[in-house]
Structure 1
Amino acid sequence: MKAQTIARELALLALPQLSKAQKKLAQSQPRELQLTLEEMMLKAISTLREETQEALEAATAELQRSNDRLLNSQTRASDVEGARVMTAEAIELVQTAINRLGQALEMPETINNFNRPDVRSYALELLVKATEETAQVDLLLSKSIVDWQLGRLPKIDRDILRLAVTEIVYLGLEERIAINEAIELAKRYSDDQGRKLINGVLRRVTEQLKSGV
């Protein structure tokens, strides 16, 4: 997994804590700011560990339920159709469990790469810029949201958008890559509606930037 991808996820997980520490961050010296942001990233790592454990526990429960469905299809189904339905439910539960296990297996890579200098450096740079330029980023996003308000979006969708715009405007990330990376985060942390919204808003942001509005 690329350093920026790992750093971006860490920044996303640390970003919700920024609002709680906004005043402290504004008054911090550069070294203090870095230490505070690193502390937030450590909390983000802790969150990832908890999510990994929860994903594994959920996958275990789903596999057990799948096993129960298969047993019931053999012993309790009154006809072929009933057995078919129970088997289909069992297969669906197994697929869900596999998806959860896939997510859980990705998380340790993010956790283990936290101490990579390139990961820490980019995550800190992204968090610092997202903090410093929140007002300008939010202004740009507000102009790009149709029939809705930025403040009414789910927090996770808002944070994904803020990070993507920060990378495009202030860190020089190519627009196409920023949008794709934001969508990948949305697939993992948001839902289908959030993913579509993020895609649409960021495309309108890029149109604004190109037109100079």
Structure 2
Amino acid sequence: MASRQQPRRTARVLALLSLSQIRIKSDQLEDLEINDLILGAIRTLTIEVENTLETAADELNRSNDKIFKSETRTSDVSSARIMLKDAIALTQKAINRVGTIVEIPEFIQVSRETEVKQYAIDLISCIRNNKEEIDSLIDGLMTDWTVNRLTQIDANILRLAVAEMKFFQQDHKIAINEAIEIAKQYSDDDGYRFINGVLRKVSNKLLEN
């Protein structure tokens, strides 16, 4: 089972990361090459790295202002330390993402490339063609929230898992567990817990019908 799931796991990650970067029409998706998907994934991660480093730089500047431009009250120093700690954490996150970018081509190469490409394209196509229905299902199970208000990564992780459960007849437990593992890598602690909760509600709803 593990060897059978590995190409699909790779395809899920590739679909997730390239989804927002693929601009061609749905009927042209079959013409995509694996390198097109890899390039889309790398672009997504590169944008995230740039945004994360920009936020880290802002935190460093604010920390600097607290220390050097204000009276050195204990509260200011404590606040500056928190900002510095946040900046370091953000920088580490960016470094980890750079590592992911470097690993993507090798990650694909060690999997069954044709199977990875086709399943990634199938997922992207399914989400594009059924986005309204998928989003409506997710929105109906969230309280005072909508999928469009989530981060792009979290929203697309949900869409991928819902597409697998609803349109690919994937075992719900597998779909949810795979989504959680991806969220642990590309979201944060709050993100993956939230995704877990929403997908369990989706699973229950689908099983009722």
Report deviation, 1:112: 2.0
**What is aligned with 2:31?**
35
Q: Is the 8 A contact 1:48 1:107 kept in 2?
A: no
Mapped partners of 2:44, 2:148: distance in 1: 26
Summarize deviations over 1:11-62 as a string: whole Å, max 9, x none: 00111124xx3xx515x4xxx33225756413235448969xx8xxxxxxxx
Alignment-derived partner of residue 25 in structure 1 = 25
User: 1:159 and 2:156 equivalent?
Assistant: yes
Aligned AA (1:206): S
After TM superposition, give the deviation of residue 184 of structure 1 in Å.
Answer: 0.7
Question: What is the rounded CA distance, in whole Å, between the counterparts of 2:139 and 2:208 in structure 1?
Answer: 16
Distance verdict in 2 for CA 1:38–1:108, change over 3 Å: closer
Amino acid at match of 1:12: L
Q: In the TM superposition, what is the alpha-carbon distance from 1:107 to its structure 2 partner?
A: 4.0
Matching residue of 1:187: 184
Q: Summarize the alignment of residues 121-132 of structure 1 with structure 2, pairs less than 5 Å apart.
A: 121-132=118-129
Asked if the contact 2:21–2:44 (Cα under 8 Å) also holds between the matched residues in 1, the reply is no
Output the CA distance in 1 between the equivalents of 2:103 and 2:29. 29
Is the counterpart of residue 13 in structure 1 residue 17 in structure 2? yes
Distance 1:118 1:111 in 2: 10
Q: 1:194 to 1:37 in 2, by over 3 A?
A: farther
Check the 8 A contact 2:17/2:45 in 1, yes or no: no
Conserved 8 A contact 2:141-2:198: yes
**C-alpha spacing 1:14/1:49, structure 2 compared with 1 (3 Å):** closer
In the alignment, what sits opposite 1:75? none
Cα 1:141–1:37 shift into 2, 3 Å: farther
CA distance in 2, matches of 1:162, 1:40: 21
Post-superposition offset of 1:171: 0.9
- 1:181–1:106 Cα change, 3 Å: farther
Question: For the Cα contact (< 8 Å) 2:135–2:159, is it kept in 1?
Answer: yes
Task: Tell me whether 107-116 or 143-152 shows the greater mean CA deviation.
Answer: 107-116
Match in the other structure for 1:133: 130
Describe the shift of the 1:41–1:108 C-alpha distance in structure 2 as closer, same or farther (beyond 3 A). closer
TM-score after normalising by structure 2: 0.66
* Whole-angstrom CA distance in 2 between matches of 1:107 and 1:39: 11
Contact 1:138-1:162 within 8 A present in 2 as well: yes
TM-score where L is the length of structure 1 = 0.65
RMSD: 3.3
Gaps of 5+ in 1: 55-92
What is the aligned residue count? Answer: 164
Name the residue aligned to 1:209: 206
How far apart are 1:183 and its partner, in Å? 0.5
Partner of 2:7: 3
